[in-house]
Amino acid sequence: MRLTLALLPIALLASPAAAQAPAEPIQIPPELTDPAMTERVLDMLGPLSRAFMNLPIGEIEAVAAGRPVTAADRTRTIRDVAGGGDPNFEANFQRDIAASRATMRVATKAMVSALPALTKAMAEVAREMERATANLPSPVYPKR
């Protein structure tokens, strides 16, 4: 039974539907190559990081430590743990996020320029997987 479950993904890859080549090449969505979209995502970093810092973590810490959850645990957030009592933590954190914008622009540009090569490589991986698994016996084929 375990062998059947383990081989099921391979069988699905070897199915006629998976063996068919895509009708057309993969198109990169224009949103991924639009610099304005990159700027909108970068503008979201500040609010997202603030929201992330406000996530409660105390109860998870208590359970992981194997101790009962206290009232203080219920109010402890990621900000409380990460800040470690530093009065300048928030300002430093936001400054670091703002400073990373240039790096993120460059990284996004590099990723966008690499997307055609990545999609081509992934298509080649799919072809090689199909070739490698083409003659595997089907796990759903009746045993004799």
Question: Tens digits of per-residue pLDDT, 31-66?
Answer: 777 888 888 988 898 889 889 999 999 999 999 999
61-98 b/e (C-beta count within 10 Å ≥ 16 → b): ebeeeeeeeeeebeebeebbeebeeeeeeeeebeeebe
The answer to whether position 25 is within a domain reads no
* 138, part of any domain: no
**CA distance linking residue 141 with residue 144, whole number of Å:** 9
Give the separation between CA 111 and CA 115, rounded to whole angstroms. Answer: 6
What percent of the chain has pLDDT above 90? 26
Q: Which domain holds residue 72?
A: 2-20+36-133
Count: domains in the chain: 1
Q: For residue 31, is it within any domain? A: no
Average pLDDT over residues 117-139: 87
Residue among 50, 37, 34 nearest 83 (CA)? 50
Report yes or no on 30 lying in a domain. Answer: no
Task: For residue 28, tell me if it sits in a domain.
Answer: no
Q: What is the pLDDT of residues 69-126, one digit of tens each?
A: 999 999 999 988 888 888 899 899 889 988 888 898 898 888 888 888 888 899 899 9
pLDDT band for 10, please (50, 70, 90 cuts): low
Mean pLDDT of all residues belonging to the chain: 81
- Give the model's pLDDT for residue 20: 55
The pTM (predicted TM-score) of the whole model is 0.53
Q: How far is CA 46 from CA 3, 12, 41, 94, in A?
A: 48, 42, 10, 7
Residues 57, 76: contact at Cβ < 8 Å? Answer: yes
Is there a domain that residue 68 lies in? yes
Q: What is the H or E stretch that residue 123 is in?
A: helix 101-133
